[in-house]
Amino acid sequence: MGNHKDTVTSRQVTIAVFSLVIGAGILTVSREVVDTVQTPDAWISVLLAGLLTMIAGAMSVILCNRYPGRTIFQFSKEVVGPVIGTVANTIAILYFIFIAGFETRILSEIVSTYLLHRTPEKVLMITFIWVATYQAIGGINPILKAFEIYFPIVIVLLVGILLLSMRKFEIINILPFFGNGITPLLKGVGSSLTIYAGYEIIFVTTAWMEKPKDAMKSLFKGLILTTVINTAVVLITIGVMSIDEIKNLAWPTSSLVAEIDLPGGFIENYKLFFIIIWMISIYTTFLGVQYLAAVGISQTFPVKYRNALFAILPFIYLVALVPHDLGEVFIMGSAVGYTWLGIGLVVPMLFLVISLIRGNKKGGRAKQK
Partner 1 sequence: MKAKKITAFTLIIIMFTCAACWDRHEVEELGLVVAMAVDKESGSDDKFTMTTQFVNPNGVREPETGFKDSKAYFNLSRSGESIFETLQDFDIVSSRIPNFEHLNIIVISQEAAKSIDVYRFVHTLLAFWEVPRNAYVLISESEARSLLSREPELEHMPAFEIDRMVTTETGTSKKQFKRSLGDLAKDFAAGSSVAVQKVSFEESIALKGAAIICGKEYKLLGFLDERETEGLNWLNGNAVLSSISIEEKESGNVINTTLNIKKHKIEPKIKDDRISFKVSIIAEGDITENWSETSDVMESEFLRGIEVQISDEMEKRIYDTLDALQKKFKADVAYFWKTVRSTDFRLWEEIKDDWDDIFSEADIEVNVDFHIRGFHNRTSR
The nearer residue to partner 1, 87 or 258, going by C-beta atoms, is 258
Residue 291's closest CA among 212, 191, 354, 204?
204
Q: Is 65 within 8 Å of 355 (Cβ atoms)?
A: no
Helix axes 25-37, 326-340, angle to 10 degrees: 80
Q: Measured in whole angstroms, how far is the alpha carbon of residue 254 from the centre of its chain?
A: 18
Site for partner 1 in 319-358 (CB under 8 A): none
Identify which of residues 40 and 348 has a Cβ nearer to partner 1 in the complex.
40
Q: Residue 7: helix, strand or coil by DSSP?
A: coil
- In the complex with partner 1, which residue's Cβ is closer, 118 or 367? 118
Q: Does 255 bind partner 1 (CB under 8 A)?
A: yes
Cα–chain center distance at 96: 11
- Shortest distance, position 177 Cβ to partner 1, whole Å: 10
Q: Which amino acid is at 199?
A: Y
Report d(CA 330, CA 102) in Å as an integer.
10
Q: Identify whether 323 is preceded by a cis peptide bond (ω within 30 of 0).
A: no
369 CA to centre of own chain: 27
179 interacts with partner 1 by CB under 8 A: yes
316 touching partner 1, by CB under 8 A: no
Q: How far separated are the first and last CA of the chain, in Å rounded?
A: 7
- Interface residue with partner 1, options 119, 127, 307, 360 (CB under 8 A): 119
Pairwise CA distance, residues 13 & 196, whole Å: 16
Indicate whether 248 belongs to the interface with partner 1 (CB under 8 A): yes
Q: Which residue's CB is nearer to partner 1, number 268 or number 328?
A: 268
Cβ distance to partner 1 smaller for residue 34 or 80 = 34
Q: Which residues are paired to 209 by β-bridges?
A: 8
Q: Is residue 187 a contact point for partner 1 (CB under 8 A)?
A: no
From the list 130-138, 169-177, 208-216, 303-311, the region that binds partner 1 by CB under 8 A is 169-177
115 binds partner 1 (CB under 8 A): yes
CB of 173 to partner 1, least distance (A): 8
20-39 residues near partner 1, rule: CB under 8 A = 39
Please tell me the count of residues contacting partner 1 according to CB under 8 A.
31
Binding-site ranges for partner 1 (CB under 8 A): 39-40, 113-120, 123, 172-173, 175-176, 179-180, 241-242, 244-245, 247-248, 255, 258-261, 263, 268-269
